[in-house]
Amino acid sequence: MWLFSRKGSSGFSGNSTAEEVTAGINGDGLTAIVTGATSGIGAETARVLALRGVHVIMGVRNMAAAMEIKEAMARDIPSAKIDAMELDLSSMASVRKFASEYKSSGLPLNLLINNAGIMATPFMLSKDKFELQFATNHLGHFLLTNLLLERMKKTAVESNREGRIVNVSSRRHQLSYPEGIRFDNINDPSGYSSLPAYGQSKLANVLHANELARHLKEEGVEITANSVHPGVVDTDIFRHHKLFRGLVNLVGRCIVKSVQQIAQVREIVPMLNSEQKLWGRKILHIFFV
């Protein structure tokens, strides 16, 4: 793990865990939605946020798995405020239902962490007839963000705390198709390649965050939008790609981080600190406009 041992100006390194980096952070009074929170990065993000006092709502497809995660967190963190709501990001109807139920709950929303994703799947269409990776990784989160944005604006004003929207992207966004996003051929199986299609969806995450950040800044809204590259993390997302799974197993000791060391959670630290603004900042693994 020598590759991640060098400490930066913050005093932390790539070996630092989310718990270490968030020590002393007080998230009391904050409410966060974390999508895909039943495993990997999402589960660790939810756990650490709950540990720091944030009320966490897990947006998940598998409610049974979510209940197990919730019970485990409650045992480890007796003070944790954790709830789960059903959310299938590949289904626009499910996204609309989730957003409607969330708004009806009356809960505020300070943090929206668009984490859920799938990688390198065989060609499939979603229920809405969109290529599955693009639907799950981008379209679902795009719609979810739009539907909850007014609630986030209201929360930012009433709480006098800057809201945060985080799209979990990947450096694979640089390895989309040669033309970038195939807007005219998103659902065309001819020429489909699972890894470029994944990169295409991650590129959409970055572009979405960049454009949303620009609009929010122009409006003078106290909400930031960023896309985050979490690093190479050993999670179940590699399940559809045997080559990547093999590489992770082969060289994991040198280049792959555990979920406890994920850059995503470390980069969320300033997002829990209402005194620290993000406009124009250049932070490793965060892609800005």
CATH of the domain at 201: 3.40.50.720
**Domain around 68:** 2-276
Q: How many domains would you assign to the chain?
A: 1
Considering the domain boundaries, does residue 90 fall inside one?
Answer: yes
Decide if 34 is inside a domain.
Answer: yes
Whether residue 284 lies inside any domain: the answer is no
| Tens digit of each residue's pLDDT, the chain (289 residues) | 444 456 655 566 666 777 877 888 889 999 999 999 998 888 988 999 999 999 999 999 999 999 999 999 999 999 999 999 999 999 999 999 999 999 999 999 999 999 999 998 999 999 999 999 999 999 999 999 999 999 999 999 999 999 999 999 766 656 667 888 999 999 999 989 999 999 999 999 999 999 999 999 999 999 999 988 775 544 454 454 455 445 445 444 444 445 444 534 544 555 565 544 444 333 333 333 3
For residue 258 the two structure tokens come to: 């555990």
Residue 130 in any domain: the answer is yes
Q: Is 177 a catalytic residue?
A: no
Task: Determine, yes or no, domain membership for 178.
Answer: yes
SS3 at position 101: helix
Give the torsion sign (CA, 201, 125, 128, 112). negative
Core vs surface per residue 248-277: b (16+ CB within 10 A) or e:
beeeeeeebbebbbbbbbbbbbbbbebeee
Domain annotation covers residue 285 = no
Per the domain annotation, does 224 fall within a domain? Answer: yes
**Helix, strand or coil for residue 217?**
helix
Which tokens is 117 given? 């994703």
Domain for residue 283, yes or no? no
- The model's pTM is 0.83
